[in-house]
Copies of this chain bind each other. A is one copy, B any other.
Amino acid sequence: MKKRAKLKDIADALNISIATVSRALNDKYDINASTKKEVLRVAEELNYRPNPIAVSLRKNSYNVIGVVLPSIDHYFFSTVLKGVMNKAHKSNYLVIVGESNHDPDKEKSILEQFLNHGVTGVIISPTMGKPAEHFSKFRNKRIPLVLVDRPLVDDVDSFVRYDDPNGAFLAVEHLIDQGYKSIACIKGNDNCVISNARYSGYAKALGQNNLTENPKHVKTCINLDSKKDGYLLGKQLLLAKDKPDAIFTVTDEVAAGVYAAAKELKVDIPGELGLVGYSNSKVSIHLSPQLSTVEQPGVEMGEEAFDFLQQIMLGSTEILKKTFDARLIVRGSSTRHATINNMTIV
């Protein structure tokens, strides 16, 4: 493998100084047209391209941010990334991406890799709700940091999040409005903050409407991206003797599983069973009837996150916070009454 050409190689080839070469390449003052031409020729010949590290060091500018997400092929996160990249590209920032796969250890190693590399800022959607020790370490170093979707509990980091509890609240109130009386919930693991937040909204909606929570109607789903798990739990709920007439699931994928269970058991949606999911993922419009769900504006959240990060990188010391308002998308899976405006897509 040939060594990469540097300024000196061009300079030596033409018997001129590297300063002249540099000026020629950078189209600066004080350069003769013919030598410039020569320099460009030799540069092309030697396949020269500037060493960005050296340039960065000299110019003292490095425009790279890091984004770490639990899962890159998860629709919501990929839209967040899209939003970040939209804005970053416009501001001439490069974004390096890491995927933690919901593993705190991997998250930590990615963060350290990013730090070592010298990113000027980081946007992260943490795997866990609890502030891990590698976060405090991070903060000590004062690297601009913005959390997305899963703000940690202590009040030190800027964040962009979504009003998860209220989204769930709206979903369940809507089911109640539609006349459903016995509303179950399929939630996630207890250490999943997202699930907990949504579950709290569910509980609140029941409470405010004088409905008592039935412990048998609250199921825990290990893998919230698994249709199969949703199917199994949905079946459990629908086969119970005090079966619910509506189910709120904390993800659309789980709701898709419930569809399968309902179909197998010949339970009509929305007639015998109302259903609302969460995230407005692509699946929701492909189900039949289409699934009511809670919208999560990933792209906008990503864009806002980058804006925050940029403010911090430019020197702001404030803790920037934004909570996106919850918005319910009502579709066929939860509408027994025609009076509701049904926002079907097709």
Contacts and interface: CB of A to CB of B under 8 A. Distances in A.
B47 A141 contact: yes
A50 interface: yes
Nearest to A141: B49
A231 B346 CA distance: 8
A105 B256 CA distance: 39
A15 interface: no
Interface string A85-109: 1000100101111110000000000
Contact of A89 (B110, B228, B282): B110
A346 B227 contact: yes
Interface centre among A52, A89, A113, A288 (most CB of B within 10 A): A52
A79 B82 CA distance: 15
Given A64-B96, A94-B113, A81 B72 contact: yes
A17 interface: no
Contacts of A288: 259, 263, 288
B95 A49 contact: no
Contacts of A231: 346
Given A231-B346, A285-B227, A286-B286, A94 B117 contact: yes
A53 B64 contact: no
A311 B79 CA distance: 32
A303 to B, nearest CB: 13
B72 A73 contact: no
Contacts of A78: 72-73, 78
Interface in A139-166: 140-142
> How many identical chains are in the complex?
2
A315 interface: yes
B89 A47 contact: no
A260 B346 contact: yes
Contacts of A81: 72-73, 97
A1 interface: yes
Given A228-B345, A286-B256, A97 B118 contact: no
A115 B227 contact: no
A317 to B, nearest CB: 9
B85 A97 contact: yes
Given A257-B346, A288-B288, A346-B231, A95 B96 contact: yes
B99 A47 contact: no
Interface string A275-286: 000000011011
Interface in A54-88: 54, 56-57, 62, 64, 72-73, 75, 78-79, 81-82, 85
Interface string A307-342: 000000011000000000000000000000000000
Contacts of A73: 75, 78-79, 81-82, 298
Top 6 A-B pairs ranked by shortest CB distance? A52-B118, A73-B78, A1-B315, A96-B96, A53-B56, A53-B57
22 contacts: A1-B315, A47-B141, A49-B115, A49-B141, A51-B118, A52-B115, A52-B116, A52-B118, A53-B53, A53-B57, A53-B118, A72-B82, A73-B75, A73-B78, A73-B298, A75-B75, A82-B99, A94-B117, A95-B96, A227-B285, A227-B346, A263-B288
